[in-house]
Amino acid sequence: MTETYVVLDYRLMIPKPSYIGKVRDVYDLGDSLLLSSSDRISAFDCVFQELIPGKGVILNTISNRWFKSFNSIENHIIETNYLNFPAPFNSIEFKDRATLVKKCKRIDYECVVRGYISGSLWKEYSKFGTLNFIFSKDKYLESDKLSEPMFTPARKNDTGHDENISEKKMKDEIGDDIFNKLKELSFFLYTTAEQKMRNSGIILCDTKFEFGFYNDNIILIDEVLTPDSSRYWSMDEYKTGISPPSFDKQILRNYLETLDWNKEPPTPKLPNDIINKIINKYKEIQEKILSCT
């Protein structure tokens, strides 16, 4: 008697993502979500055609390592081993790049914590002399360490563009109790990570966290302390009065500044040497994070 085997190629059965972010693909599985980090890269709100091979795995690995290191804080992770994902997601293409998480009622604010004055906070301060809408008596140069870390929330709007808001506005919108809890958790996460990274020669300039409600508890969701959600600087390259190169997309941004590109789609083609430099930078920060967490 001959036996017939049917080989299922799960890759053929994978549905389209329910939501495609600039970098991540989100599959809605009912009570859970599968968050899959792609190798896409974006800058100036544009996603490039070229992929950065391995970037998605690095981002997912970094985020999960940080989630795990904060064992006192409840987070959204259900499963990180792709073999235990429900079919058809137990497929090799999700290996190390996807995480199965609890689907939460997202709290629509980015909880940004900054230890240094850079990015949009520097823009605000240099233009208006304010720090998160409050006049500052302290005098700062770009990238200076702040006298103490600041909480500078942003509201996640439906248009896709986050809006920086004052602490007071966020408090008025969500109430004192939730606001205080989110701020306290965010400071704890930032200061713990900042100290750990310092021992590896890295400055954690700023970062953002997201939280959600799960069974009425506030839990940590999304991605945590990745180079996409944080500004990491090497201590060797740190200087005030400039914007030091960051581990996220500085190589890409610097390259783009050499081109005559208006920062609107279509995006310019990325040469291989730039792609390789970007990959190496992501690998470098991964190594540092894995060694200190």
Ligand X SMILES: Nc1ncnc2c1ncn2[C@@H]1O[C@H](COP(=O)(O)OP(=O)(O)OP(=O)(O)O)[C@@H](O)[C@H]1O
The residues that touch ligand X, with contacts defined as CB under 6 A, are 21-24, 26, 33, 35, 76, 101-104, 106, 210, 212, 221-222
Task: Report the residue closest to ligand X, judged by CB.
Answer: 21
Which residue, 44 or 261, has its beta carbon nearer to ligand X?
Answer: 44
Tell me whether the omega of the peptide bond preceding residue 88 falls within 30 degrees of 0, making it cis. Answer: yes
Sequence-distant (6+) residues with CB within 8 A of 140 are 117, 125, 146
Q: How far is the CB of 109 from ligand X (least distance, A)?
A: 10
Classified as helix, coil or strand, 160 is: coil
Which residue, 60 or 91, has its beta carbon nearer to ligand X?
Answer: 60
Which residue, 212 or 244, has its beta carbon nearer to ligand X?
Answer: 212
Q: Report whether 26 contacts 13 (CB < 8 A).
A: no
Q: How far is the CB of 33 from ligand X (least distance, A)?
A: 6
Distance between CA atoms of residues 160 and 166, nearest Å? 19
Q: How far is the CB of 31 from ligand X (least distance, A)?
A: 10
Write out the DSSP string of 245-261. -BTTTHHHHHHHHTS--
Place of tokens 């590896």: 200
Tell me whether the omega of the peptide bond preceding residue 53 falls within 30 degrees of 0, making it cis. Answer: no
Which residue, 26 or 146, has its beta carbon nearer to ligand X?
Answer: 26
Q: How far is the CB of 125 from ligand X (least distance, A)?
A: 24
Which residue, 157 or 240, has its beta carbon nearer to ligand X?
Answer: 157
Q: How far is the CB of 50 from ligand X (least distance, A)?
A: 17
